[in-house]
Amino acid sequence: MLSSIVFYALDKAIRSYRRMAQATIDRAGLDITIDQWLVLRVLLEHDDLTQHDIAERVFKDQASVARMLALLTRRGLLSAVPLPHDGRRTQLRVTEAGHRILAAVQPIVLQNRTKALAGISEEELAVLRPLLDRIALNCAPPA
């Protein structure tokens, strides 16, 4: 049975969470995806990252990050100022509008996490985390 396979349950859990999270953001009238939110959050704290660095932090592909940055910039949530010492790169800064939307999304995300973890104890979470890390590690490319 499909349902007996742990990877199926894994996939289902994270997808359920993402759907629920996006729905709550949409319902709040906020025009941003959770992936965009994640990237914007990272940039809030580090404005000197390459696309590759960002991709590593959010565990995405550089190409995906490139397109998300372009989108965020087009939407005015991010500004890209050319860096003087490296003609390839830009300094990425969250704009005023970006800050506003981050602030608006933040409490929603916290609520979502609480909702998603309802009925799960700290001890159980403490078991869960290393297992997930182990799976990721087992599947990581040889480097």
Binding partner of residue 93 among its own copies, DNA, none, CB under 5 to 8 Å per kind?
none
| Contact status: 58 vs its own copies (CB under 8 A) | yes
Binding mask 2-41 vs its own copies (x if CB under 8 A, - otherwise)? x--xxxxxxxxxxxxx-xx--x--------------x---
CB distance 88 to 97 below 8 Å: no
Binding partner of residue 7 among DNA, its own copies, none, CB under 5 to 8 Å per kind?
its own copies
Terminal C-alpha separation, the chain: 34
The distance of Cα 41 from the centroid of its chain, to the nearest Å, equals 8
3-class secondary structure for 27-46? HCCCCCCHHHHHHHHHHHHC
Question: Residues interacting with its own copies, by CB under 8 A?
Answer: 2, 5-17, 19-20, 23, 38, 42, 57-59, 113, 115-120, 124-125, 127-129, 131-136, 138-141
